[in-house]
């Protein structure tokens, strides 16, 4: 079975399947044949509409035109996430995609800010971040030379269609049908073909499992196993509903904490995506539905739909001749909109490691190690939001506040609390800026800051901060509103 990969079969056509197909078609289209099997009857998970900035890099790799993509997916811009009621009730902070303050060599900006705070001359931390301030007043603009860091809110089913068109026009073959059986080679245990309900046999020498939570190939056929993280990320359900827009779309995702979970609000050009992520141990589906429906604006466009999940990761993301991408590979819950990013990173990693000959364990092990490192660091960042809270007002929050956390995260929290140090590890997605905004936002105030910052005379520090504030205000004055910009740039 071990031979050069010439014929790749993708099982599943949600975001994961079509992202994989598009990247393979673009980068390897002349070298491998790509076939995608999907079932309209089964459908997709139908959520996954908030993204993060690296998506823009992936789109560049594919040569996707931003305006065309945004029109096709009714997308809006996203400058960050507004977390409400997380540190405590009636609290609010923004995790923005921008840089706060200015870069410095020894001590990052937040050390200067902590010193200024001690001197009584600091404004709110977010005041020194352009993207954050723009999000607060619903303003946005970009251009080829603009330095603003942003992502998108998009319609997930339209995104899959957009990538399907892209992929099919570059030679990807799509087969409509339900996979009824996964056939394996009896000697190697490698997957050899997918059998459809129609009786059609789809043969390949490499398979990408994009069948969503069911993991039809990676789990149901290869029994790869799952590492469960629900003791750290106990939410296990979501209820989602789409509503009509009642206001101009904001360039920000809202994440509103409730008693046993949290609610997302994602504004698109033509509608709003809403959902409540919750823990079934503390909230029934009926209660979740009531909580969600009591907290939406605008007429419902779809019936509320419950989605069950279990946070964790597949023990191997790549097993034998099968790569799992998307929900079939694991799920860390959508709090920081990282799943689509993980799909993109997964297919790029696969393309980089693509063997020119037999698949061997070395390449599989390397892929798996990198994928595991990446998702585990994201996992820690998500747990941080739940664990570092002052909320004790419900059994759910009491659990989160008091639960054991991974040692890697405990170390980060201690380091920040004691010394204000935050870091971005090798291969890690979230930058110092992200860690700092969330740790401060959730209520950790470090005991110390770096001594080097006190070398700056207080008057100079004040002018330095004022200078940043002034340049942000000037920049904001020149920005149109988010809606005005969409209207002229990418209206559907």
Tell me which stretch binds ligand FAD (CB under 6 A): 63-71, 92-100, 115-123, 334-342: 334-342
Q: Are 1 and 321 in contact (CB under 8 A)?
A: yes
Q: Are strands 253-258 and 80-84 parallel, antiparallel or unpaired?
A: parallel
| Cα gap 430→422, rounded to integer Å | 11
Q: How far is the CB of 385 from ligand FAD (least distance, A)?
A: 14
Q: 87 vs 275, which CB is nearer to ligand FAD? A: 275
Catalytic-labelled residue, pool 6, 26, 33, 78? 78
Does residue 17 bind ligand FAD (CB under 6 A)? yes
Does residue 219 bind ligand FAD (CB under 6 A)? no
Q: How far is the CB of 432 from ligand FAD (least distance, A)?
A: 22
Q: Are 17 and 38 in contact (CB under 8 A)?
A: yes
Q: 77 vs 112, which CB is nearer to ligand FAD? A: 77
Q: 340 vs 465, which CB is nearer to ligand FAD? A: 340
| Cα gap 262→235, rounded to integer Å | 9
With CB under 6 A, what is the number of residues at the site for ligand FAD? 37
Q: Between residue 21 and residue 60, which ones bind ligand FAD under the rule CB under 6 A?
A: 37-39, 42-45, 47-51
Q: Are strands 322-324 and 206-209 parallel, antiparallel or unpaired?
A: parallel
Residue 78 catalytic? Answer: yes
- Structure letter (DSSP) for residue 249: P
Q: How far is the CB of 202 from ligand FAD (least distance, A)?
A: 10
| Cα gap 200→197, rounded to integer Å | 7
Q: How far is the CB of 225 from ligand FAD (least distance, A)?
A: 18
Burial of 107 (0-12, 13-18, 19+ CB in 10 A): middle
Short-list 205, 169, 199, 226, CA closest to 18: 169
Q: Between residue 147 and residue 166, which ones bind ligand FAD under the rule CB under 6 A?
A: 156
177: left (phi over 0), alpha (psi -120 to 50) or beta: left
Q: Between residue 269 and residue 288, which ones bind ligand FAD under the rule CB under 6 A?
A: 275
Q: 125 vs 262, which CB is nearer to ligand FAD? A: 262
Does residue 206 bind ligand FAD (CB under 6 A)? no
Handedness of CA 29, 175, 367, 432 (dihedral sign): positive
Q: 307 vs 403, which CB is nearer to ligand FAD? A: 307
Cα separation values, 127 from 104, 124, 150, 388, Å: 18, 6, 18, 23
Given the rule CB under 6 A, which residues bind ligand FAD?
12-17, 37-39, 42-45, 47-51, 156, 178-179, 210-212, 214, 216, 238, 275, 307, 309, 326-328, 334, 337, 339-340
């Amino acid at each position: 079975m071990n031979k050069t990969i010439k014929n790749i079969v993708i099982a599943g056509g949600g975001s994961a399947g079509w992202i994989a197909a598009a990247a393979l078609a673009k980068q390897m289209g002349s070298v491998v044949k790509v076939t995608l099997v999907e079932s309209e009857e089964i459908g997709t998970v139908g959520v996954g509409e908030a993204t993060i900035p690296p998506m823009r890099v992936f789109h560049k790799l594919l040569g996707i035109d931003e305006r065309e993509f945004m029109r096709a997916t009714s997308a809006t811009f996203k400058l960050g996430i507004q977390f409400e009621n997380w540190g405590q009730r009636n609290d609010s902070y923004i995790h923005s995609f921008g840089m706060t303050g200015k870069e410095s060599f020894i001590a990052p900006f937040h050390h200067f800010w902590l010193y200024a705070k001690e001197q009584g001359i600091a404004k709110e931390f977010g005041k020194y971040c352009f993207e954050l301030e723009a999000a607060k007043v619903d303003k946005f603009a970009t251009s080829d030379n603009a330095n603003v860091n942003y992502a998108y809110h998009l319609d997930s089913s339209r995104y899959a269609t957009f990538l399907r068109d892209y992929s099919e026009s570059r030679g990807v073959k799509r087969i409509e049908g339900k996979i009824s059986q996964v056939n394996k080679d009896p000697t190697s245990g490698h997957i050899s073909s997918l059998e459809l309900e129609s009786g059609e046999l789809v043969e390949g020498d490499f398979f990408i499992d994009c069948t969503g939570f069911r993991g039809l190939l990676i789990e149901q056929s290869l029994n790869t196993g799952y590492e469960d993280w629900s003791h750290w990320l106990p939410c296990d359900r979501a209820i989602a509903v789409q509503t009509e827009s009642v206001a101009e779309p904001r360039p920000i995702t809202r994440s509103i904490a409730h008693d046993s979970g949290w609610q997302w609000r994602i504004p698109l050009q033509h509608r709003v995506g809403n959902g409540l992520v919750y823990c079934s141990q503390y909230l029934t589906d009926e209660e979740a539905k009531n909580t969600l429906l009591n907290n939406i604006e605008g007429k419902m466009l779809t019936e509320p739909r419950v989605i069950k999940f279990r946070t964790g990761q597949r023990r191997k993301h790549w097993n034998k001749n099968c790569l799992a991408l998307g929900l079939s590979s694991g799920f860390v819950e959508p709090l920081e909109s990282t799943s689509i990013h993980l799909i993109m990173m997964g297919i790029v990693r696969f393309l980089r490691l693509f063997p020119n000959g037999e698949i061997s364990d070395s390449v599989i092990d390397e892929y798996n190690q990198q994928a595991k490192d990446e998702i585990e660091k994201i996992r820690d960042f998500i747990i941080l939001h739940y664990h570092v809270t002052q909320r004790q007002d419900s059994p759910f929050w009491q659990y989160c506040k008091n639960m054991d956390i991974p040692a890697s995260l405990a170390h980060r929290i201690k380091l920040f609390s004691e010394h204000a140090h935050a870091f971005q590890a090798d291969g890690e997605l979230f930058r110092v800026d992200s860690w700092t905004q969330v740790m401060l936002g959730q209520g950790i105030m470090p005991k110390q800051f770096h001594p080097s910052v006190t070398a700056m005379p207080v008057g100079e520090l004040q002018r330095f901060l004022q200078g940043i504030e002034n340049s942000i205000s000037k920049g904001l004055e020149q920005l149109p509103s988010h809606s005005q910009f969409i209207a002229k740039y990418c209206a559907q």
